[in-house]
Amino acid sequence: MVRITKQEFKEMFNSKIYSIYAHSINEATNEQLQIVLSSVIKDIIAKYWVDNRLSTNKEVYYFSIEFLIGRQLKSNLLNLQIEEVIKEGLEDMGIDLDDLICAEKDPALGNGGLGRLAACFLDSMASLNISGHGYGIRYKYGLFEQKFINGYQVEVPDNWLLHEQYSWESIRPNKAVVVKFGGEVYLEEDNGRLKAKHHGYIPVMAMPYDIPIIGYDNDFINTLRLFKAEILNRDFGINTLYANTFTGSYEQALKYKYYTEEISQVLYPNDSNHAGKLLRLKQEYFLVSSGIQDIINKYRKNKFDILDFPKHIAIHINDTHPTLCIPELMRILLDEEGLSWEEAFDITKNTISYTNHTIMAEAMEKWPVDMMKELLPRIYMIIEEINKRYVEYLNHKYNDNEKIRRMSIICDNNINMANLSIIGSYSVNGVAKLHTEILKKEVLSDFYEDDPGKFNNKTNGIAHRRWLISCNEDLSNLITEHIGNIWKKDTEELKRLEDYKENRNFLKKLECIKIKNKTKLANFIAEEYGICINPESIYDVQIKRLHAYKRQLLNVLHILHLYHELLENPELDIVPRTFIFGAKAAPGYHLAKCIIKLINSVAEKINNDKSINNKIKVVFIENYGVSLAEKIIPSTDVSEQISTATKEASGTGNMKFMMNGAITLATLDGANVEIYDQVGEENIVIFGLKASQVLNYNKYGGYSSLDLYNSNFKIKRVVDDLVNGFIPNISKEGRVIYDSLITYNDEYFVLRDFENYIEAQSKIDTLYRDKEKWSKMCLINIANSGIFSSDRTISEYAKDIWFRGC
Question: Interface residues with ligand GLS (CB under 6 A)?
Answer: 112-114, 117, 271-272, 357-358, 363, 431, 460, 648-652, 670
The Cα 352–Cα 323 span in angstroms is 9
Cβ distance to ligand GLS smaller for residue 151 or 653: 653
Annotated active-site residue in 320, 436, 652, 667: 652
Cβ distance to ligand GLS smaller for residue 222 or 652: 652
Q: Which residues pair with 579 in a beta bridge?
A: 540, 618
CA 208 to chain CA centroid, nearest Å: 22
Q: Which residues contact 96 (CB under 8 A, 6 or more apart)?
A: 90
Work out how close the CB of 435 gets to ligand GLS at its nearest, in angstroms, rounded to a whole number: 8
Cβ distance to ligand GLS smaller for residue 542 or 705: 542
Query: Exposed (0-12), middle (13-18) or buried (19+): which is 214, by Cβ within 10 Å?
Result: buried
Work out how close the CB of 23 gets to ligand GLS at its nearest, in angstroms, rounded to a whole number: 44
Query: Exposed (0-12), middle (13-18) or buried (19+): which is 312, by Cβ within 10 Å?
Result: middle
The Cα 325–Cα 317 span in angstroms is 8
Q: Is 150 helix (H, G, I), strand (E, B) or coil?
A: coil
Work out how close the CB of 317 gets to ligand GLS at its nearest, in angstroms, rounded to a whole number: 13
Annotated active-site residue in 466, 550, 577, 593: 550
Cβ distance to ligand GLS smaller for residue 408 or 644: 644
Active site residue 610: no
Q: Is 64 helix (H, G, I), strand (E, B) or coil?
A: coil
Work out how close the CB of 33 gets to ligand GLS at its nearest, in angstroms, rounded to a whole number: 35
Cβ distance to ligand GLS smaller for residue 100 or 794: 794
Q: Which residues contact 124 (CB under 8 A, 6 or more apart)?
A: 461, 463, 789, 790, 791, 793, 794
Work out how close the CB of 380 gets to ligand GLS at its nearest, in angstroms, rounded to a whole number: 25
The Cα 132–Cα 126 span in angstroms is 7
Cβ distance to ligand GLS smaller for residue 112 or 786: 112
Work out how close the CB of 544 gets to ligand GLS at its nearest, in angstroms, rounded to a whole number: 8
Work out how close the CB of 281 gets to ligand GLS at its nearest, in angstroms, rounded to a whole number: 17
Q: Where are the alpha helices (DSSP H) in 303-357?
A: 309-312, 325-331, 341-351
Query: Exposed (0-12), middle (13-18) or buried (19+): which is 150, by Cβ within 10 Å?
Result: exposed
Cβ distance to ligand GLS smaller for residue 273 or 705: 273
Work out how close the CB of 549 gets to ligand GLS at its nearest, in angstroms, rounded to a whole number: 9
Work out how close the CB of 757 gets to ligand GLS at its nearest, in angstroms, rounded to a whole number: 20
The Cα 444–Cα 415 span in angstroms is 16
CB 152 within 8 A of CB 599: no
The Cα 470–Cα 791 span in angstroms is 16
Active site residue 550: yes
Helices (H) then strands (E): counts for the chain: 32, 23
Active site residue 303: no
User: What does the angle CA 792 – CA 294 – CA 262 come to, to the nearest 5 degrees?
Assistant: 100
The Cα 41–Cα 80 span in angstroms is 10
The Cα 744–Cα 131 span in angstroms is 50
Annotated active-site residue in 545, 558, 577, 597: 545
User: What does the angle CA 553 – CA 558 – CA 559 come to, to the nearest 5 degrees?
Assistant: 95
Q: How many C-beta atoms surround the C-beta of residue 572 within 10 A?
A: 13
Active site residue 652: yes
Q: Kind of pairing, strands 132-137 and 59-63? A: parallel
The Cα 142–Cα 159 span in angstroms is 7
Annotated active-site residue in 509, 544, 561, 776: 544
Residue nearest to ligand GLS (CB): 113
Work out how close the CB of 112 gets to ligand GLS at its nearest, in angstroms, rounded to a whole number: 5
Cβ distance to ligand GLS smaller for residue 636 or 650: 650
DSSP per position, 704-740:
-HHHHHHH-HHHHHHHHHTTSSSSTT-HHHHHHHHHH
Q: Is 107 helix (H, G, I), strand (E, B) or coil?
A: coil
Q: Is 456 helix (H, G, I), strand (E, B) or coil?
A: strand
Active site residue 509: no
Cβ distance to ligand GLS smaller for residue 72 or 356: 356
CB 648 within 8 A of CB 459: no
Annotated active-site residue in 74, 466, 656, 792: 656
Cβ distance to ligand GLS smaller for residue 107 or 112: 112
Active site residue 656: yes
Annotated active-site residue in 74, 282, 357, 577: 357
CB 548 within 8 A of CB 273: no
Active-site residues, by number, are 357, 544-545, 550, 652, 656
